[in-house]
Structure 1
């Protein structure tokens, strides 16, 4: 395996899959003594250009974020459409889904990871950037999300 594939060792985010984003975000807000964040839907496929397993996908999810200093906690409640979120939640239940890293050069990083046996599972756009979920379970025992923000 190539070394230092991402060029970054700082975990930016931990993503958790949940069945009820309102209930879980309230539990985290109470636990940490912070305000409950508002959740929002990911964009529709025409804006997000979502692809799952190489095909266009209408899958969406409710997201809520807790900023915890240098780390962000993301809660994800997927809709019923096929996605990495829905598949993982159905197979493994609620809990950790991914750890995320900010990268530069998304296409190059994805290609390098695929060359190293870590295939792209899902990708899409968001306001201000793009994401890619890479199947790193075999090597790293968790999914990695790559985040590239527009400059």
Structure 2
């Protein structure tokens, strides 16, 4: 595999899976003396075009974001539909889910990573960009999320 496949080594985000986003958001806000962010639902499949393991899925989640200096903490509470979030929460319980990197050239990066034995698990769109989760656990011992924001 090429050197520096992502074109960056700056971690932009850490994602945590939770059963109760409201309670967990409150706990983080209280612990760090910060304002509790409002959580929101990810877009429905018609807008998000969510695919999980190559199939369209209606899986959604609630998200809350804490900006922690140069890093963002993302809390994720999935619904009960098929998704990488639901699978991991059911299998592993609450806690660490992924680290994310902001990249350019999403499709190219996914292709390179898949050729390197890191398959795409889930992808979708969000207002202003797109995301992809790749199974990098065998090689890197952590799941990676790629975030590509639309050019302004």
Q: Distance in 2 between matches of 1:25 and 1:136?
A: 28
Query: d(CA) in 1 for partners of 2:149 and 2:65?
Result: 17
Show CA shifts across 1:63-105 (max 9, x none): 0000011100000000000100000000000001000000000
The answer to whether 1:113 aligns with 2:91 is no
Cα distance, 1:3 vs structure 2: 1.7
CA contact (8 A) 1:2 1:116 kept: no
Q: For residue 143 of structure 1, what is the aligned residue in structure 2?
A: 143
What is aligned with 2:52?
52
1:2 Cα deviation from its structure 2 partner? 2.7
TM-score (ref. length: structure 2)? 0.98
Name the CA distance, whole Å, in 2 between partners of 1:2 and 1:84. 27
Q: Which runs of 5+ in 2 are unaligned?
A: none
Regions of 4+ moved over 2 Å: none
Provide the residue aligned with 2:134 in structure 1.
134
Q: What 5-or-longer segments of structure 1 have no aligned partner?
A: none
Number of aligned positions between the proteins = 151
Matched residues in 2 for 1:97 and 1:13: separation? 11
Partner SS state of residue 66, structure 2: strand
Give me the whole-angstrom Cα distance separating, in 2, the residues matched to 1:127 and 1:88. 25
CA distance in 2, matches of 1:138, 1:79: 27
Alignment RMSD, CA only? 0.5
Q: 1:65, 1:105 → 2: CA distance?
A: 24
In the TM superposition, what whole-angstrom CA distance separates every residue of 1:23-82 from its partner, at most 9, and x where no partner exists?
000000000000000000000000000000000000000000000111000000000001
